[in-house]
Amino acid sequence: MERDIKTLLAQMTLEEKASLCCGDGFWNTTALPQHGIPAMILTDGPHGLRKQLGTADHLGLNESIKTTCFPTAAGTAASWNRELINKIGVALGEECQAEDVQIILGPGANIKRSPLCGRNFEYFSEDPYLSGQMAASHIKGVQSQGIGTSLKHFAVNNQETRRFNIDAVIDERTLREIYLASFEGAVVEAQPWTVMCAYNKINGEFCSQNKTLLTDILKNEWGFEGFVVSDWFAVSERDKGLAAGLDLEMPTSAGIGKQTILDAVKNGTVSESLLDEAAERILRIVFRSMDGKKQNAVYDKTAHHRLAKDAAAESMVLLKNKDKILPLSKSGSIAVIGGFAKQPRYQGAGSSHINPTRIDIPYEEIEKAAGEAVIRYSAGYALDNETVDGAMINAAKETAARADVCIVFAGLPERMDSEGKDRKHLRLPENQLIVIEEIAKVQQNTVVVLSNGSAVEMPWEGAVKGILEAYLGGQAMGSAVAGILFGDINPSGKLAETFPVKLSDTPCYINFPGEKTKVEYREGIFTGYRYYDKAGVEPLFPFGYGLSYTDFAYSDLRLDKKEMPDSGELSVSVTVKNTGTVTGKEIVQLYVRDVESGVLRPPKELKGFEKVELKPGEEKAVAFTLTKRAFAYYHTGLADWYVESGDFEIMIGTSSQDIVLTETVHVTSTVKEKKNYTIDSTLADIKDEPAAAPLLAMMSGNLKGGEELGLDLDALFSSIKIQSLIAISGGKMTMDTLRQMLNEMNG
């Protein structure tokens, strides 16, 4: 419905407009019934709806209604399936409609800087392109149902340690290329109704009052049309936040925020026009939610559970399958070890904790799927502590030794994998480690099923034949695991994060979580696989890695052109064939490498992906379109994305470290890079300038005698400062002619 919001604002008092910009209670916005403005309900997500029963408590943590618990983002990102993520979003939107919720808080697009971050289970990836694509698909799905999303936590919120006031010190290029890029992709492509600002500071300024972040970049540069909401209790100074672009404070501040706004407008430190702009943004979303309301909405709990199973199955990653131990035979005897088999870890702890409509128990689902196989169980370890219980271990070993194959369920309990705190190490609990190691000694056919929200170390990897990373697979993870173990489902997930061999291998090991109230992002743009590739550090399992029960072959990589301007588009196609015996899904990954760059760049960066399903013997052509951003880096001098003219490799891989096909395209920049040569620039700086050619030739002749001294003339020549040429030339070069040459080169 069309409404004249500006006329409505003109009819409102200053106090009413200030009220709109402040929450009412824990989950509600402020209603102004005298103006026909209802309250909206904003409720936790992102992988399920967490709406509290009855009246919310002051921390928003009490019991919630039953809703579908889908896999967390750490898992769904491993599906690399935009369509699947969209379907989950649609289902979440349907549940919000049925439960009278207008905005669900999510998805989380923060980058996985370190696997230690306690909230990594709620985030998609270490790669900004993959993260942005997953977030955009999620947002589109939810909002197709007339329900808003809240893209969070904007930005550089990559740890739980001192998350309310930690200062993330980061250079502009790293900020743009890594930590903002995932949000940018989601905002530009999907336009979430709201964006949630983070708790932390960036370079000394709280995100909740960072004008560069909230207004200059988000609203003006990216064209964000919705409103900015604070993370709960994130607001420091409400007047500064409003001036910076923070539209809505949540939850209620018991009138403090409203009074601060009123005082600021009255004393002139914040203009009323800024308040009007914030109120207008909020009203547009309020009315959009009113118009999107579906009367008597319901949803199909059974259908959503089936979708949760599909999502879990595609999110799981088969990491090891030695001797093709999987899929298991549906005959013989199978030992099932581990408390997680009967009390599954299927979701994260904290604000996203869902009260599921039902739960598939892995052990029970294995019994259903096992056919004639005999199933025996032993706990092996306690779930509520790390105490090594010799009697439990011996019982587990005896059970495992008597079976043909053993499945060990292991992973991270909630106390080690939760919002609010970061992990201290990457190890599994000690009692689980001992169980795996001891069982592997007596049973050579051992498979480990992992339930965890982030990467873990696996010192036992070489002792087992199979590893299935199930992540936090939601309420249907048990049936999905059983389906994969027995071959009723072909695994198709691939890692959206790198699994390191050990913690000290990680890019930010020395600088995580920082000192006192500051953390420095000294690894710069080299996060995740970018670092492992550049440093030559071998991971346990690389980004993009995952096995299948079938095999795929790649051929016929084609580019529609060999040369192009950066303003053009490049069409890429590659053929993929299923060369195995069962139907499977393959994730085709496209990386781009700048062959020779004048700035520091990663060896490769993900710039495209597609998931394709193929029957045995079937082949399909997969197409990609690359534009300027696929080749560009963020040029801080230009304050824009810039492509350096030169060759770029288009690389097709099955993972970040398994590149199977490569072609090259030459891209020419259409943007003239601003030059700023000075008398202190070196000869190496000007070596490619036509205006400097005569001078360089003359200097080369003058330095020939240096060879007798055993000098590396190229190195010596390149390091000389331009102003030194006056003396070296013996008077042939003057300061005037030098400055004239500099002016010509600088344009």
Quick one: pLDDT at residue 360? 98
What are the pLDDT digits (tens) for 697-744? 766 665 555 555 565 666 766 788 888 777 877 777 788 888 888 888
- Phi, psi (degrees; rounded to nearest 5) at 489: -130, 135
- Token output for 564: 């192009």
pTM score, whole prediction: 0.95
- Report DSSP state, residue 81: -
What values do phi and psi take at 17, rounded to 5? -65, -40
- pLDDT of 691 reads 78
Q: How far apart are CA 147 and CA 182, in angstroms?
A: 22
Average pLDDT for the chain: 94
Judge contact between 548 and 318, C-beta under 8 A.
yes
List CB contacts of 438: < 8 A, sequence separation 6 or more. 393, 396, 397
Q: What does 348-398 look like in DSSP terms, one character per residue? A: -BSTT--EES----HHHHHHHH-TT-EEEEE--S-SS-----HHHHHHHHH
> Would you call 8 exposed, middle or buried from its count of C-beta atoms within 10 A (0-12, 13-18, 19+)?
middle
Task: Give the count of beta carbons closer than 10 Å to the beta carbon of residue 122.
Answer: 27
As a whole number of angstroms, the distance between CA 135 and CA 679 comes to 48
Alpha-carbon gap, residue 179 to 126, rounded angstroms:
10
Write down the pLDDT at residue 59: 61
- Secondary structure (DSSP) of 226-284: SEEEEPTT--S-HHHHHHHT--BB-S--TTHHHHHHHHHHHHTSS-HHHHHHHHHHHHH
Q: ∠ CA 234-237-239 to the nearest 5 degrees? A: 120
Taking residues 528-554, what's their average pLDDT?
98
Lowest-confidence range among 417-421, 429-433, 675-679?
675-679
pLDDT at 702: 58
Hey, what are 742's tokens?
A: 């500099």
Cβ burial of 389 (10 Å; 0-12, 13-18, 19+) is middle
Residues classed as catalytic: 231
The pLDDT tens digits for 392-412 are 999 999 999 999 999 999 999
Considering only CA atoms, which of 242, 227, 229, 239 is closest in space to residue 281? 227
Cis peptide bond prior to 691, omega within 30° of 0: no
Phi, psi of 179 (to 5 degrees): -85, -25
User: Going from the N-terminus, what domains does the chain have, and what CATH number goes with each?
Assistant: 14-53+63-289 (3.20.20.300), 316-492 (3.40.50.1700), 552-668 (2.60.40.10), 690-746 (no CATH)
pLDDT at 10 over 60: yes
Three-state SS for 307-352 is: HHHHHHHHHCEEEEEHHHCCCCCCCCEEEEECHHHCCCCCCCECCC
Pairing of β 466-469 and β 317-321: antiparallel
Q: What is the pLDDT of residues 349-396, one digit of tens each?
A: 888 899 999 999 999 999 999 999 999 999 999 999 999 999 999 999
Q: Is the pLDDT of residue 164 over 70?
A: yes
Give yes or no for residue 258 having a pLDDT over 80: yes
548: Cα within 13 Å, side-chain hemisphere: 25
Cβ within 8 Å of residue 393, ≥6 positions away? 380, 381, 434, 435, 438
DSSP assignments along 677-721, one per residue: --TTSBTTTTTT-GGGHHHHHHHHHHTGGGGGGT--HHHHHHH-B
CA 177 to CA 426: how far, in whole Å?
Answer: 27
Q: Which residues contact 587 (CB under 8 A, 6 or more apart)?
A: 80, 492, 494, 544, 546, 609, 610, 611, 654
Nearest-angstrom CA–CA distance, 126 and 116? 13
Q: Which of 194-208, 330-344, 555-569, 664-678 has the lowest mean pLDDT?
A: 664-678
Q: Of 97, 108, 105, which Cα lies nearest the Cα of 289?
A: 97
74 phi and psi angles, rounded to 5 deg? -60, -35
Task: Tell me the torsion sign for CA atoms 295, 300, 305, 308.
Answer: negative
Q: What is the pLDDT of residues 457-513, one digit of tens each?
A: 999 999 999 999 999 999 999 999 999 999 999 999 999 999 999 999 999 999 999
Q: 57 with 346: CB under 8 angstroms? A: no
Q: Is 77 exposed, middle or buried (0-12, 13-18, 19+ CB in 10 A)?
A: buried
Listed residue (254, 258, 266, 220) closest to 241, CA to CA: 258
Q: List, for residues 605-622, the tens digit of each pLDDT value.
A: 999 999 999 999 999 999
8 A C-beta contact, residue 117 and residue 73: no
- Digit-coded pLDDT (tens) for 274-314: 999 999 999 999 999 999 999 999 999 999 999 999 999 99
Specify whether the CB–CB gap between 313 and 356 falls below 8 A.
no
Find the Cα–Cα–Cα–Cα dihedral 90, 224, 242, 52, rounded to 10°: 0
Tell me the pLDDT tens digit for each residue of 328-358: 999 999 999 999 999 999 999 888 899 999 9
